[in-house]
A and B are shown apart, each in its own frame.
Chain A
C-alpha cells in the first residue's frame, strides 16, 4: 500500500464555488488517519503542469461559474493528451459538475454554441432553459466494490448530460444527469479509476465510504483501517430520513 498520494487540483483558484475544496479536505483528513500523506498540488490557468499530471494519483476538477468555466476550456483541452495518458496508467479522475461536463465531447450553451470538451468519454451536455436548472438535494444509489451505497449531495446545474451508458448511480431523489431523470453521473465499466458526478455538498463530506473507496483504489489497498464515523452516520441518517422517508 502506498503511504503517499499526490492529488492534482485543477484550477482551485478559479473553480471554487459550492465548497468543492471540501473534497480535498475530506480526502486529506481520511488519508492522514491511515498514515497516508496526501500531497496537494494545483494547476492554474496558463501553468505548465505536465510533470504534475504525470505524477498525480488523483486528478480533481470542481465546479464553477459559467464565466470561469469558459475561460479555462482552452487551457484544459491543451492538456488532453497528458490527462488521457494519466487516466490510462490508472490515475483516478474525480470530476464534479463543470469537471464532469468538460471531460465529455462538448458543452452546447444556451445560444447553441459548442464549447469542445476533452472528449475522453462519449457523453455530451446541452444547456437547458435558464428557468430549468436542476437544483436541490439529491440521493444517488451506487455500487462500490459490489456493495450498494447511498450517496448524498446537492445538485445545481443548468446543463443536461446525455449519452451516458454507464452512470455513477440511480437517482433516488433529485434529478441527476437530466431533469427528472433516473440516473446520475458517469463511471466507466471495467474501470475503477473515474468518477464523474454533479454532486456538490461537497460530495465527500457525507459519504465516507465513497471517500475511502477512492483512497483505497489510489493507494492500492485491499481495505483501510476503520475510522470512527459516528458523526457522519448520524448526519446521513437525518438526511436519508428526511429525503427518502427512510
Chain B
C-alpha cells in the first residue's frame, strides 16, 4: 500500500517536472492523471498543519487571496491555490508541487479555495480544520445542477468532518450548514443604504429548510442575502460573532468591534467577503494590524474589481459567473453619479455553463446614466437582446463579437466604464484591454 502511494507521488512529481522543463504551467494536469489512475489519490498526501478551505458560489478567490496575504504578512508559511485551481485535480496538483517524495506537505497553514461541489470529495482524504462558507446562489445550472442538491451534499459531509465553520449569518442557504453549536462562527454586515424591503434580484432559499415555512426578511442587502428569520420555527435567529458596522461609503471606512478599518473597495458583497476574512483570521489569532493593512491596500485584481486606464478612460472589470455577480457590478455602476458605459462579455463555453438564460435574471431595471453598451463574446447578441428587452435604447447597444474590437470601442472615449465578463471571458477580456492600452499609449 505504502509503496503504491509513493509510486503515485513519484509519477505526479515526474509529470510536474516534465511540464516545467517544457515550459508549461502544469495547472490541473498532474492531478488529473493521478485522478484517472485512482479516484482517491488525495489520500497519498499527509498534511501536518491546519487546512482552511473557502467555498461558496461567489467570492472564493477574493477571500482566499486576502487570507493568504494576511497569514503571510504575519509570518506564517502558507500553501494556497490563489489562482483558483479549485477542483479536486487542481488541489492535487498543488499538493504535488509542495510535498516531499513521501507525500508529506509542510506548512503552517493550507489555505484552499474549493469548488462547492468538490468539498466532500477533497476533504474525504484531507482533514479539514475550518470551512468558510460564503454564499450559495444559482450558478451554472446545466453544470452544477440545482442549488438545493449542492447544499445538501455539503451539509451531509460537514456533519462529522470539520472543526470550525465560518458562516455568513445573512444567507439562509449557508446558516443551515451549521445552525447551532459552538463550532459555528457567524459573520454579518449591518444594513446598508442600498438594502431593500423586497427581494430586488433573483434569489434562492425562500423557504425554511427545517419546517418549509416561508422565510421573512427585515431587509435584503442583495439577492437573498439579508436579515432573515423563519417566523414558524425561529431558524435564522443567530448571533454574529463579527459584524461590520458604521459603514462610511464616502471615505471607504467601517468598524469591526469598535475598531476602524479602511478598505480599497466598498461594494456590499466585498464587505461580506472582508467580514469572512476577519472572522477566519481572528479564529487563528492573527494580529489586527495585518488585517487592517491588507484591507486598506490589497487588491486581488485578476478580473476582480480590476482597474484599467487609458487616455482619461477608467474602466473597472469584474468577473460575473451568475446573475448575482453581474448584479453586484450593476449596483456599483448605479452608485456612480455621472455618465458611464458598460462592456459585457458573455461566453457559453463548457466551463461557463452552456445555458446563458441566467442573463435574464440580471436586474437591468435600474441603469442610471448609461450612455453606451458594448457587448462581446460568443453570445454577444444574446446579452445585447437581454439589455434591449429591459427597455434600454437599442440604438445605444453595439454588439461586437470580436473582443479586441470591443475593447477598442469601450476605451475609445474618456470617462467612467464598467466591464462584466463571465468565467472563460475574463482572461481574454483582460488581455484585450491590456493590448488596447498598449496600442493607445504608443500613439
Contact = CB atoms under 8 A, between A and B. Distances in A.
Nearest to A235: B381
B394 A231 contact: yes
Interface string A124-158: 00000000000111000000000000000010100
Given A156-B142, A234-B381, A235-B384, A202 B148 contact: no
Interface string A3-24: 0000000000110111111100
A228 B354 CA distance: 28
B146 A22 contact: no
A135 B202 contact: no
A154 B140 CA distance: 13
Interface string B107-148: 000000000000000000000000000000010011000111
Contact of B357 (A14, A202, A234): A202
Contacts of B138: 17
Contacts of B359: 19
Contacts of A206: 382, 385
A200 B382 CA distance: 13
B43 interface: no
Contacts of B401: 238
Interface string B202-215: 10001100001000
B399 interface: yes
Contacts of B181: none
- Residue of B147, B358, B361 most packed against chain A (CB within 10 A): B361
Contacts of A201: 357
Contacts of B390: 25
A66 B149 CA distance: 10
B355 interface: yes
B102 interface: no
Nearest to B138: A17
Interface string A92-120: 00000000000000000000000000000
B136 to A, nearest CB: 13
Nearest to B357: A19
Interface string B358-400: 1111000000000000000000011011101111001001010
B360 A202 contact: yes
Contacts of B386: 22, 205
Q: State the main secondary structure of chain B at its contact with A.
A: helix
- Residue of B141, B147, B356, B391 most packed against chain A (CB within 10 A): B141
A135 B354 contact: yes
Contacts of B385: 205-206, 231-232, 235
A22 B360 contact: yes
Q: State the main secondary structure of chain A at its contact with B.
A: mixed
Contacts of B142: 135-136, 154, 156
Nearest to A238: B381
Contacts of B141: 17-18, 156
Contacts of B388: 231
B354 A25 contact: no
A29 interface: yes
Given A156-B355, A231-B384, A235-B384, A14 B206 contact: yes
Contacts of B355: 18, 135, 154, 156, 200
A180 to B, nearest CB: 17
Interface string A57-86: 000000001110001000000000000000
A231 B399 contact: yes
A25 B357 contact: no
Interface in A149-178: 154, 156
A234 B381 CA distance: 7
B88 to A, nearest CB: 19
A208 B368 CA distance: 28
- Residue of B212, B360, B394 most packed against chain A (CB within 10 A): B360
Contacts of B399: 231, 234
A26 interface: yes
Nearest to A234: B381
Interface string A216-246: 0000000000001001101100100000000
A154 B381 contact: no
Contacts of B381: 231, 234-235, 238
A191 to B, nearest CB: 28
B236 to A, nearest CB: 19
- Residue of B142, B384, B399 most packed against chain A (CB within 10 A): B142
A205 B360 CA distance: 9
Nearest to A136: B354
Interface string B325-358: 0000000000000000000000000000011111
A25 B389 contact: yes
A29 B357 contact: no
A113 to B, nearest CB: 18
A202 B357 CA distance: 6
Interface of B: 138, 141-142, 146-148, 202, 206-207, 212, 354-361, 381-382, 384-386, 388-391, 394, 397, 399, 401
Interface of A: 13-14, 16-22, 25-26, 29, 65-67, 71, 135-137, 154, 156, 200-202, 205-206, 228, 231-232, 234-235, 238
20 contacts: A19-B357, A19-B359, A19-B360, A19-B361, A21-B360, A22-B360, A29-B389, A66-B146, A135-B355, A154-B357, A156-B141, A200-B355, A200-B357, A228-B394, A231-B381, A231-B384, A231-B385, A231-B399, A232-B385, A234-B399
Query: What are the nearest 3 A-B pairs in CB distance?
Result: A19-B360, A22-B360, A235-B381
Given A25-B390, A200-B357, 7 more contacts: A17-B138, A136-B354, A154-B357, A156-B141, A205-B360, A205-B386, A235-B384
